[in-house]
Structure 1
Amino acid sequence: MELVLIMLTIQALMGAFDNLYHHEITERLPSKPEARGELALHTTREFLYALIFLMIGWTQPQGLWALFLIGLMAVEIVVTLWDFIIEDQTRKLPKFERVLHTVLAINFGAILAFLLPILWAWTQLPTALVPVNYGLFTPVMTVFAIGVFLWALRDLVAVIRLGGGGLPAWQRRPIKKGQQAKPRTVLVTGATGFIGNHLVRVLLEEGDDVIVLARDEKKAKSLFGPHAEVVSDLALIPDDRKIDAIVNLAGAPVIGLPWTKARRQALLESRLGVTAQVNELIQRLSEKPECLINGSAIGFYGNRGDEPLDEAGGSQDIFMAELCRRWEEAAKLARNFGVRVCCVRTGLVLGHDGGALPQLARPAAFGLGVIFGRGDHWQSWIHVADLVALIRYLVDHRDIKGAVNGTAPHPVRQRDFVKILGRVLVRPVWLRVPKTLIRLALGEMAEIFTEGQKVLPVKAQAHGFNFHYPMLEGALRALRHDKAKVKPNREPLTVYYNHACGICRREIGHYQKLAEAGKRPLECLDINSHPRALAAYGLGPNDIRRRLYVLDGDGHLFGGVDSFIRIWALIPRFHGLAVLAQMPLVNPLAGLIYERMMVPWLWARNQRLKRTECPVCHQE
């Protein structure tokens, strides 16, 4: 049995490496909708392994329990084979990942070869789970079981979230399309990324027309719905199309894999390739755009210690600086066609839904905020709302050109950044990691974490741009408030529902009576009497007949389960339900049940009733 336990230990370590390195870091599966099926199989396999590790580590299963363990392993084989098929259908596996999967399969086969005869002998014994102690292997198997169980929960949340409960992102967080007398047309590349997503939403809300270049058209359409035009190739844009401005943010994430030669080339090509396509588009357009706002980063300046840096600062001969320099040089070619070019050198972009902050805040929330080395290097940062506002400002102001630092006016040292984050989260900061360890682990990429630049937004401020979040603590507190759970409140709500649906009518009527009794501001509008009430959000009558929508006092619209949470938070009797529905695992599961079960059932039921209880449900 000792040999089986050794091979199980090897299997667990290889599997953990595969999950962390391939699935999380390189392939980023939990963020890809097309990986949802593969993640569902991973979730199943991880729950199976959790049981296998616990049973083998703590018990000698006999009789029917031994047969049960054999059955678990048989299911694991089926899941693994199925996973091989799904992987080949949905993505191109890196060579090393394919090799590792093969080694894992071979090792699992060796485990079966040694374990199955033992288990078969145990099936002949009376049914029981006999406690055993395998020395050090027993706690090791326990650690593996807990780890793989937690990873299964993590993947399960990703499966639910990627499914979105069947509801596209633009319907979960509806976008109110603004109106302008003469709307501009703005082309945005990298629009499905963290910064690009925020930018596109703001442009749409301000009334601009937006064209989105996206490799993943399905993701882009889920994010922006009917509000934005999505193209998968710039060659699809006709020569006579009028485009007023281009914002080029496309580029592979810098943080992730070590900067090997191949990785550096991929980082360069992801930026230079799209920028070249943008220049080709500009060249053939009959009417040139007025400006190109191009991405860059403060890595352009290299590692400069305590030297204050404005846009006139020089570069250095290191990879990060070269990456930014070459990207800017490629963008400047658009000047040959009479286009104004601005290169925004961004710092650490802070947002609750992307960028570096979630990764920094997660360990800090557990009191594990990390100071790198002495923490005396500078971190130049910017709130994502300020960065979006700056990009729009550059589009609007034709007198600004060249490099523009996209950082807040008050950079901080890294140790102060972590301490302020800890203060905002009300958590201690005590953990330090020596620079040498970071360099050993990450190579040259460690410079992102151990070196910095004191960058100042001199040009932006000289041209009159005002930062809404100039100080770090204010920015972090605002972001924490944005992410905060909905609490019991008295804020006015407007509910849009289908009065013709009997169940919906009774449910909303019940909430309305409770709100009136508690003197809570809840207005309920029948979509059949107000069919174009939410047309500005791209929502038609049938969208609202299918699911509930709630508009809060700040003009934010929420759909599905999020709308119920707002109602429950308003009515004292349901405050506990509002809290429960926002819990990490409960919220996505509730969304899945509502969108995949309740919505289709209610819709089908109302259609069957036709003109009796629900006479308008069939109107298109």
Structure 2
Amino acid sequence: MRILITGATGLVGKHLVGRLEDVVVLSRNADEARRRLGKVEAHAWNPEAGPAPAEAIRGVEVVFNLLGEPVFEGRWTEEKKRRIRDSRVVGTRNLVSAIAASESRPKVLVSASAVGYYGHRGDEELDERSSAGHDFLAEVCVEWEREAMAAEKLGVRVVCVRIGIVLAPNGGALATMLTPFRMGVGGRLGSGRQWMPWVHIKDLVGVMLHASSHDAIRGPTNGVAPHPVTNLDFTRALANAVHRPALLPVPRIALRLALGEVSDILLGSQRVFPKVAEQSGYVFEHPDLAGALEDLMTSQSSSA
């Protein structure tokens, strides 16, 4: 089966490529993609400049769309926010335009989205039927999903995977958090009462592959573990996993001064559940945080 991936050199993309064969990737730098990913067919594409090249789409049965400017790298200037939006919204629009022009269209498009769709919701239990929020990231996610869902009019089944905080053995959110915790200076963020919708990288890739092969799954699907935790519980679990204390909370005002508007994401609360994945038969390999962290720490040790 010929499979196309955009954003393949990112954290999720690299793990997804590792689970597949006969992979075509679209990248701003095709040579770099080949070097980093190994045996893939790579095509150069600037997602904001126009439709993807026709030769990359030809013969593809499944498309995984993982486009997106990193959200947590750097402060949110107006230019940064434009790149966050356009890389996702315009990039996905141009991908769907290429699908529309293709002589042989894929059967399914699995397009990334984010739990940022829901905005800050406190203790409210959220699933795929819940409404969208109203902040910047929520608005981006709404537009992003709308562009992806436009492929339905072309006869393509579309799934939008709303991704939570991805925990992986090397890179991503966990790598950023581990350094202060290993130094014994980790701690809760703000009050620590905010909910964190996390997911082990193996399960996120598993949910995406599951969605691609189950015809009954359409529209939004939450890519999160079935047991969300508060930031305080996450802090305790991570400290326990690295055998260090977690004694130094980071006040809300300090986060705001250090990160600006990005701090709103870290302090926002989203109690999200993967109802579609579970009801369609997906069985999580790492449903609980303690077990997930133990697996990730073991993976880090074995690869060191």
- TM surpasses 0.5: yes
1:392 aligns with 2:209: yes
Distance change >3 Å, CA 485–CA 393, structure 1 → 2: closer
Give per-residue Cα distances to partners, 1:345-378, cap 9 Å, x unaligned. 0100000112100111111111111211120100
1:218 aligns with 2:35: no
1:375 aligns with 2:195: no
Contact 1:239 1:284 in 2 (8 A): no
Contact 1:239 1:285 in 2 (8 A): no
* Equivalent-residue separation in structure 1 for 2:57 and 2:75 (angstroms): 43
Structure 2 counterparts to residues 425-574 of structure 1, below 5 A: 425-485=242-302
Q: Percent identity?
A: 39
- Report which of the two structures shows the higher radius of gyration computed on alpha carbons: 1
| Partner SS, residue 314 of structure 1 | coil
Give per-residue Cα distances to partners, 1:507-532, cap 9 Å, x unaligned. xxxxxxxxxxxxxxxxxxxxxxxxxx
Structure ranking higher on relative contact order (CA contacts 8 Å, 6+ apart): 2
Give the counterpart letter for 1:262 in structure 2.
Answer: E
- Pick aligned residue for 2:122 from 305, 311, 335: 305
Contact 1:364 1:427 in 2 (8 A): yes
* Equivalent-residue separation in structure 2 for 1:430 and 1:442 (angstroms): 21
Structure 2 counterparts to residues 99-118 of structure 1, below 5 A: none
User: Corresponding residue for 1:341?
Assistant: 158
User: Corresponding residue for 2:88?
Assistant: 271
Structure 2 counterparts to residues 26-45 of structure 1, below 5 A: none
* Equivalent-residue separation in structure 2 for 1:258 and 1:454 (angstroms): 25
Task: After the TM superposition, list the runs of 4 or more consecutive aligned residues in structure 1 that deviate by more than 6 angstroms.
Answer: none
| Partner SS, residue 375 of structure 1 | coil
* Equivalent-residue separation in structure 2 for 1:433 and 1:262 (angstroms): 28
Give 1:236 deviation, angstroms.
Answer: 3.4
1:201 aligns with 2:18: yes
Contact 1:288 1:339 in 2 (8 A): yes
Give the counterpart letter for 1:315 in structure 2.
Answer: A
* Equivalent-residue separation in structure 1 for 2:150 and 2:287 (angstroms): 33
Structure 2 counterparts to residues 566-605 of structure 1, below 5 A: none
In angstroms, what is the RMSD of aligned CA positions?
A: 1.5
Give per-residue Cα distances to partners, 1:475-499, cap 9 Å, x unaligned. 010011011147xxxxxxxxxxxxx
Give per-residue Cα distances to partners, 1:318-370, cap 9 Å, x unaligned. 10111111111111111110111110001000001121001111111111112
Give 1:235 deviation, angstroms.
Answer: 4.3
User: Corresponding residue for 1:592?
Assistant: none
Give 1:253 deviation, angstroms.
Answer: 0.4
Distance change >3 Å, CA 436–CA 240, structure 1 → 2: closer
* Structure 1 unaligned blocks of 5 or more: 1-183, 487-581, 583-620
| Partner SS, residue 19 of structure 2 | helix
Give the counterpart letter for 1:217 in structure 2.
Answer: A
Give 1:273 deviation, angstroms.
Answer: 2.5
Contact 2:8 2:66 in 1 (8 A): yes
User: Corresponding residue for 1:232?
Assistant: 44
Give per-residue Cα distances to partners, 1:38-95, cap 9 Å, x unaligned. xxxxxxxxxxxxxxxxxxxxxxxxxxxxxxxxxxxxxxxxxxxxxxxxxxxxxxxxxx
User: Corresponding residue for 1:320?
Assistant: 137
1:245 aligns with 2:62: yes
* Equivalent-residue separation in structure 2 for 1:310 and 1:385 (angstroms): 21
Give the counterpart letter for 1:259 in structure 2.
Answer: W
Give the counterpart letter for 2:198 in structure 1.
Answer: W
User: Corresponding residue for 2:170?
Assistant: 353
Contact 2:4 2:56 in 1 (8 A): no
Distance change >3 Å, CA 372–CA 247, structure 1 → 2: same
1:366 aligns with 2:183: yes
The structure where helix makes up a greater share of residues is 1
Give the counterpart letter for 1:473 in structure 2.
Answer: A
* Equivalent-residue separation in structure 1 for 2:134 and 2:52 (angstroms): 35
If the length of structure 2 is used for normalisation, what is the TM-score?
0.95
1:332 aligns with 2:149: yes
| Partner SS, residue 330 of structure 1 | helix
Distance change >3 Å, CA 239–CA 264, structure 1 → 2: closer
* Equivalent-residue separation in structure 2 for 1:386 and 1:318 (angstroms): 28
Distance change >3 Å, CA 416–CA 243, structure 1 → 2: same
Contact 1:239 1:286 in 2 (8 A): no
* Equivalent-residue separation in structure 2 for 1:224 and 1:306 (angstroms): 40
Contact 2:43 2:56 in 1 (8 A): no
* Equivalent-residue separation in structure 2 for 1:391 and 1:199 (angstroms): 9
Give 1:283 deviation, angstroms.
Answer: 0.7
* Equivalent-residue separation in structure 1 for 2:57 and 2:67 (angstroms): 24
User: Corresponding residue for 1:188?
Assistant: 5
* Equivalent-residue separation in structure 2 for 1:322 and 1:261 (angstroms): 15
* Equivalent-residue separation in structure 2 for 1:239 and 1:286 (angstroms): 12
Contact 1:240 1:286 in 2 (8 A): no
Give per-residue Cα distances to partners, 1:512-563, cap 9 Å, x unaligned. xxxxxxxxxxxxxxxxxxxxxxxxxxxxxxxxxxxxxxxxxxxxxxxxxxxx
Contact 1:195 1:384 in 2 (8 A): yes
Give the counterpart letter for 1:287 in structure 2.
Answer: S
| Partner SS, residue 225 of structure 2 | coil
* Equivalent-residue separation in structure 1 for 2:244 and 2:126 (angstroms): 32
Give 1:437 deviation, angstroms.
Answer: 2.0
* Structure 2 unaligned blocks of 5 or more: 46-50
